[in-house]
């Protein structure tokens, strides 16, 4: 029994005649080994007919129909025009190989054309897909790639349905993120290690953000000196308070911290400042 192959490309429908199966062997492994060799594969399969899609919209409609297992009127006309017509009252002496079993079932149901979709057919169609641009001389490989890219984008957009709740979901997620940031900011704003090292600082500066910027700059209170007053004044916005910070550091009753503790404290302050900037736009 003769075997024909239906190939749905981005450019149009192709009908191939697998006339030389004996040349490569009738097993799946034999076809698989011959697919990469066009000279060998070309002796087994030849183009019988090709019909291009009329437009990008037509290509998308045909693709959507195939994906849903539906034979369009255009596909039916193409098959009935190019496949051998059996004698009246007799069965067809050929079968049609298709990629999608659902499409094959619909074709058989409507037209009576016997269809098959098995591993052997799939391997033959894989070879057709690989060498498709070689079978049609008028079709350049770049043209085929452009058609595939355009159809791929259109098909994907059509399949991604708009979710009316998606915008609400984004708002909910944004609010949740803000709440999380708020909790993190509050957690980091707890003086913790800095209060052990320089407890007098909190009495001079009450604002968490300014307090964190000061603590990040100071790091080690014992290294604070008169030369730091301009920078402190810029951070606080008050020169008198900057002088007060320096004087408080000299007479501080806080504990000295190890280099490791100072580094951990500095890293925590950096993370707090980043979170605070994200959360409040400082």
Q: Tell me the C-alpha distance between 162 and 174, whole Å.
A: 20
Structure tokens that stand for 207 in this block: 């604002």
Give me Rg for the CA atoms of the chain: 37
Token pair 């799939």: residue: 122
Q: At what angle do helices 229-236 and 239-250 cross, to 10 degrees?
A: 120
Sheet of 2-8, strand order: 46-52, 12-17, 2-8, 94-97, 115-116
**C-alpha torsion 212→214→217→222, nearest 10:** -120
Q: Tell me the C-alpha distance between 18 and 32, whole Å.
A: 14
Backbone torsions φ then ψ of 17, nearest 5 degrees: -110, 115
Kindly list the structural domains of the chain, giving each domain's residue range(s) and its CATH number in brackets, ordered by start.
Answer: 2-159 (3.30.420.220), 167-280 (1.10.287.4070)
Q: What is the pTM of this model?
A: 0.54
Q: Is the pLDDT of residue 180 over 80?
A: no
Q: Tell me the C-alpha distance between 234 and 231, whole Å.
A: 5
Which among 282, 189, 204 is positioned nearest to 242, based on CA atoms?
Answer: 204
pLDDT digits (tens, 9 = 90+) for 61-87: 999 899 889 999 999 999 999 998 887
Token pair 């999380």: residue: 180
Beta bridge partners of 170: none
Which among 207, 220, 45, 211 is positioned nearest to 124, based on CA atoms?
Answer: 45
Contact 124, 31 (CB under 8 A): yes
Tell me what the mean pLDDT of segment 121-125 comes to.
91
pLDDT digits (tens, 9 = 90+) for 190-246: 556 667 778 888 888 888 788 888 888 888 888 888 898 899 899 888 888 889 988
Residue 135 has a pLDDT of 86
Residue 109 has a pLDDT of 93
pLDDT digits (tens, 9 = 90+) for 230-262: 998 998 888 888 899 889 888 888 878 788 887
pLDDT digits (tens, 9 = 90+) for 30-42: 888 888 888 888 8
Q: Tell me the C-alpha distance between 4 and 97, whole Å.
A: 6
Q: Where are the alpha helices (DSSP H) in the chain?
A: 21-24, 28-34, 38-42, 56-67, 73-82, 101-111, 119-130, 132-135, 141-159, 166-189, 193-197, 201-204, 208-218, 229-236, 239-250, 259-280
Token pair 């069965």: residue: 91
Which among 184, 149, 192, 165 is positioned nearest to 274, based on CA atoms?
Answer: 184
């Amino acid at each position: 029994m003769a075997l024909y192959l239906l190939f749905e490309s981005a450019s149009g429908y192709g009908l191939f005649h697998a006339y030389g199966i004996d040349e490569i062997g009738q097993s799946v492994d034999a076809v698989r080994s011959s697919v990469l060799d066009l000279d060998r594969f070309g002796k087994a399969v030849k183009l019988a007919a090709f019909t291009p899609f009329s437009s990008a919209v037509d290509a998308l409609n045909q693709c959507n129909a195939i994906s849903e297992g539906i034979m369009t009127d255009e596909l039916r006309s193409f098959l009935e025009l190019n496949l051998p017509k059996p004698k009246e009252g007799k069965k067809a002496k050929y079968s049609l190989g298709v990629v999608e079993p659902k499409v094959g079932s619909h074709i058989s149901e409507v037209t009576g054309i016997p269809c098959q979709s098995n591993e052997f057919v799939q391997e033959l169609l894989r070879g057709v897909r690989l060498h498709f641009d070689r079978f049609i001389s008028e079709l350049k490989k770049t043209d085929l790639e452009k058609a595939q890219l355009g159809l791929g984008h259109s098909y994907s957009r059509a399949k991604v349905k708009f979710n009316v709740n998606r915008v609400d979901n984004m708002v909910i997620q944004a609010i949740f993120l803000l709440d999380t940031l708020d909790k993190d900011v509050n957690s980091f704003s707890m003086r913790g290690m800095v209060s052990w090292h320089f407890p007098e600082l909190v009495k001079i500066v009450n604002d968490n953000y300014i307090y964190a910027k000061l603590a990040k700059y100071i790091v080690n209170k014992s290294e604070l000196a008169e030369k730091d007053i301009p920078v402190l004044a810029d951070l606080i916005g008050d020169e008198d308070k900057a002088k007060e910070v320096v004087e408080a550091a000299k007479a501080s009753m806080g504990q000295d911290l190890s280099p490791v503790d100072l580094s951990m404290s500095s890293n925590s302050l950096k993370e707090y400042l980043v979170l605070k900037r994200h959360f409040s736009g400082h």
